[in-house]
Each structure stands twice: as C-alpha cells, then as structure tokens.
Amino acid sequence: VVSIKMTSQWSPPADDFSIYYVLTECTDYYDTLPVKEADGNQPHFQGVTGLRNLGNTCYMNAIFWCLCSISPLVEYFLSGKYITTQQDGQEFLIYVLNELHEALEKVKILQESITTETSIITRLFEGQLSYCIVCLKCEKRTYKNEVFTLLSLPIPSEYECSLQDCLQCFFQQDTLTWNNQIHCSFCETKQETAVRASISKAPKIIVFHLKRFDSQSTMKRKLRTDIHYPLTNLDLTPYISPIFRKHPKYNFCAVVVSKKLLKVTQF
Ligand SMILES: [Zn+2]
C-alpha cells in the first residue's frame, strides 16, 4: 500500500537562510502531519486521469496515463512480481537523485552544451567528506576524500538523544584495530589506525539517514530512540574542516517517517 500526501506548497522563509536539511527518518509513530481533506465539490476522475499539471509536467502525466492503460504492464506492477526486496527510503532517495542527475547530464549532451556547470542535483546535494588517517605506529597522516549525498548517522542512545548527538558520534575519531587495520604505505604493513572524518565541502541541502537498525547485534534489532532535531539553525561548524569553515546553519525542510502496519511498511 502506498499513499502519497501532497502538503501545501513549501516555500523558503524570506530571511537569508539559503541552506536546508532533509532527514530520512524511520519510526513507529503515526504520521501526524495535517492532511488537507479533498474538496467534496470536486468531481473525482479516479482511474482516468488523476495527475495534476504542475507547470511543465503535462507531457509526463500523459505518458503515465498511457502506460497506466496498458493492462499487462499495470497487472505486472500491481502483482508485486517485480519486488525483490523492499527498498529503504534512503536507498530510493539516492536512486532518484542519481537518475535525475544522469538525466540532466544527458540533456546537456543532447543540447551540445559546452558549459561545464554541474547539474542542479550536484549543486544542491553533493558534499565531500575528508578522512584524516593516522598510522598509530609511525604517526604519518594521509587524507582521503569521499563525495556524499547522504550521511548515515549512528544512534548513540537506546532511549533519547538529539540529532547533534548522532552527528557527534559519526564524526568522532575511530580506531581501527585487529581485522580492520589499514595498510600503511610508510610502514609497508597493516597497522592500527586512527580515522576521523570531517566535512570538506558542505552541501546546500544535507540529508541524514538515522541508522535505526542496530548492526552490532546479530539479530536485526530496531532502535526506538526518541531523536530530537532542531527546526532552525542546525550548526555543522564543529564538523567542518577549519580551512573550509563557513559557519553553515541549516534549517529543517523535510522528514521521511516509516511505520510498520501489520506486515507492510508505510512511508
Ligand atoms: Zn605507519
């Protein structure tokens, strides 16, 4: 069962905040967002049309309507035969962003655009982490960069914590020992290593995924921790490399909540 709720059009506040964050969240609570009741006077055309033109989307709607009238195709998707494993919200988000990015890149090639400008997806969502890796024997430092569009944050408490606690946990120094040792190019063997991540490029819109499934235990256990998050001014300054620091403060813009009803997970 999939339900899609369109909330009233969101527009950024008039002040100078130009960056927002998105939280992909997974809890057992009922979604309490107010939903606009359908206008009783409006006739319903269920099964005939149903997709509103959002400006320039009529061509997409028309194609969807056509596809929806091809019975074998509809039956296939309604039968659930295509489902192998249920996607998590954050996996689907990454998939959609990647597809949008690829599509925009193709348009650029088709238009023979010589501009080197990156896609809107990259410009909004892409950030970069810098890992500082220190060999605990020779103390030599190496750096490794990694691009991200989503940060998967651990949850450090069973009962209650804040989003900032999760961030602190993610960015704290990690010591890699035993099987996790890293090869040191100076010692030329595997050594115990200290690793610390920091943000070297803060994206305009940052997406967090909260790891509610405890990967430490052998049983897949869900953490039901209450996590508080600020609606304005989430300060990421402590986690940004000093040389790249621009004191970004993020305002909350969206949350994805999943809840389990019988055996179906609803978003
Ligand atoms: Zn070393």
Using the mean position of ligand 1's atoms as its centre, give its distance from the Cα of residue 175 in Å.
14
pTM for the full model?
0.65
CA of 151 to the centre of ligand 1 (A): 29
Whether 186 and 135 have beta carbons less than 8 Å apart is answered as yes
Does 194 or 121 have the greater pLDDT score? 194
Instruction: Encode pLDDT of 92-116 as tens digits.
Output: 778 888 888 888 877 777 776 666 6
Using a CB cutoff of 5 Å, list residues around ligand 1, an ion.
135, 137-138, 184, 186-187, 191
Mean pLDDT of 246-257: 80
- 194, 130 in Cβ contact below 8 A? no
For 171, phi then psi, to 5°, come to -95, 5
Higher pLDDT, 133 or 91: 133
Under the banding of pLDDT at 50, 70 and 90, the label for residue 173 is very high
- Among residues 168, 143, 141, the alpha carbon closest in space to that of 154 is found at 168
Ligand 1 centroid, distance to 66 Cα (angstroms)? 62
The alpha carbon of 130 and the centre of ligand 1 are apart by a number of angstroms equal to 19
Bridge-based pairing state of the strands 193-201 and 141-148: unpaired
Cα 187 to middle of ligand 1, angstroms = 4
**Radius of gyration of the chain, Cα coordinates, nearest whole angstrom:** 23
Q: 20-31+55-266 in CATH: which number?
A: 3.90.70.10
Residue 242 CA to ligand 1 centre (angstroms): 25
Across the range 64-82, mean pLDDT stands at: 73
Look at 237 and 34; give whichever has higher pLDDT: 237
DSSP 66-96: HHHT-HHHHHHHHHTTT-SSPPPHHHHHHHH
> Residue 56 has which token pair?
């320039």
At residue 265 the predicted structure's pLDDT band, cuts being 50, 70 and 90, is: low
Mean pLDDT on 115-123? 76
Residue 26 CB contacts under 8 Å (≥ 6 apart), including other chains: 88, 89, 210, 212, 256, 257, 258
Q: Is the dihedral of CA 121, 122, 124, 128 positive or negative?
A: positive
pLDDT number for residue 217: 60
User: What does the chain come to in residues?
Assistant: 267
